[in-house]
Copies of this chain bind each other. A is one copy, B any other.
Amino acid sequence: MKAEIIAVVTEELNKLGIEVVRKTIVGDNRDLLAEAFRDALDRVALIVASGGLGPTEDDLTRETVAELLGRKLQRNDAILRYIEGRFRQLGREMPAVNVRQAMVPEGAEVLENPRGSAPGLWLEDSGRCVALLPGPPRELKPMYYEQVLPRLERRRSGIRMFHRELRVAGMGESRVEQRIRPIYTRYGDVNTTILAAPGEIQIHLRMWTDDAAQAQKTLDEIAQGFEIALTDRIFSQDGSSMEEVVARLLTMNKATISAAESCTGGLLAQRLTSIGGSSSYFLGGVVCYSNELKTVWADVPPELIQAKGAVSGEVAIALAEGIRRHVGSTLGVGITGIAGPSGGSDEKPVGTVHIALSHAGGVKERGVRFPGDREAIRWHASQLALDMVRIHFLYNGGEPPARGAKRS
């Protein structure tokens, strides 16, 4: 099961009050697969497996599970006809290997898969349930929601998991922990997990109870405590990503945005447009790697680049103001920096990035030095650019209030 899928399935099972005690990844090897299923069958009441249902030689899940449960594999002609029909629609004949996908263990229920050729399987055995789902997320997810979830809901107890996810930008893990520890340790019935992700810290609150009102109240209380402790560093209270939060702010404020990127190479534009409907706030952007294109597309004066260097606060500001003027957007972002691995100097080492945000009332600029490799530096730069847009709306274009605690 892939990591993305593991996360989705775990989350959904938790919502039903089903605790996921272990997630196992094994290769396409009959012995290892059998060992993993055997361990799980000995220990838990529900096994959700994904992958290994394809047509190829190394797809062994069907055979392994059938053997472990002592069930014969039988050819299901309805599935065979469906798979043949699918290939026909694409104007092709079904390859002989795909017949394997029509083999079903005795007594298994077939979970239809309108998005792919491999059907899923649902087995019950001595009170234990086994769901075998296809590997590709776009086939697995709908099958889980449409066919596995209803089967599980019929079995569920009154106890459910209530979950809240907060996300924090511009602060390290220990600092977050230090500030929120006095709060969450007061709640013994809530499980708090702090995870460091690229460019952000994720705080998960989980509570198992059959009292929904009490759970909401408790989680609200903790979240409010965190908000006081972490101030404007919390960018999301519902698990939304930074780009989703910024998309919402731009839409709510009927604002548009454009970007002139150098070291991030289009990553900011790509993140801004990863949200459906982004054409309402994102008009366009340029990736101006060469100095000439910085001048052509964002009016950066060649003399400025000469005097200050392409990686400088001044050029970031010129990029932001230039692209905003060119595109006619409410906001303009300029990013210039050294993502590495080469190109650094003593004065401007790899990781040096300048980001500017131009708006009707003026311009803000931040110079930073990010740690990590090329990918990390580019990601951090795009994250900070998005965070500057968020902070801009939070204080209506003004400055954040001064405060005692240092922001880091």
What residues of chain A have their CB less than 8 Å away from a CB belonging to chain B? 2-4, 6, 20-28, 32, 35-36, 39, 54-58, 90, 92, 95-98, 115, 117, 135-136, 138, 173-175, 177-178, 181, 185, 192-194, 196, 261, 264-270, 272-274, 276-279, 282-290, 293, 296-297, 326-327, 339-342, 371-376, 378, 408
Contacts and interface: CB of A to CB of B under 8 A. Distances in A.
B276 A327 contact: no
B54 A276 contact: no
A278 to B, nearest CB: 7
Given A22-B32, A39-B39, A135-B196, A277 B342 contact: yes
Given A56-B174, A276-B374, 19 more contacts: A2-B3, A22-B32, A23-B24, A23-B25, A23-B26, A54-B174, A54-B196, A55-B177, A56-B181, A56-B194, A95-B178, A96-B178, A138-B372, A269-B287, A276-B340, A279-B290, A282-B289, A284-B288, A284-B290
User: 7 smallest A-B Cβ distances: which pairs?
Assistant: A265-B273, A266-B266, A3-B3, A266-B269, A284-B293, A266-B270, A23-B25
Nearest to A56: B177
Given A265-B272, A265-B274, A273-B266, A193 B289 contact: no
Contacts of A378: 274
B290 A297 contact: no
A340 B193 CA distance: 35
B136 A196 contact: yes
Nearest to A117: B174
A103 to B, nearest CB: 15
B273 A285 contact: no
A54 B195 CA distance: 10
Contact of A289 (B55, B135, B185, B273): B273
Contacts of A95: 174-175, 177-178
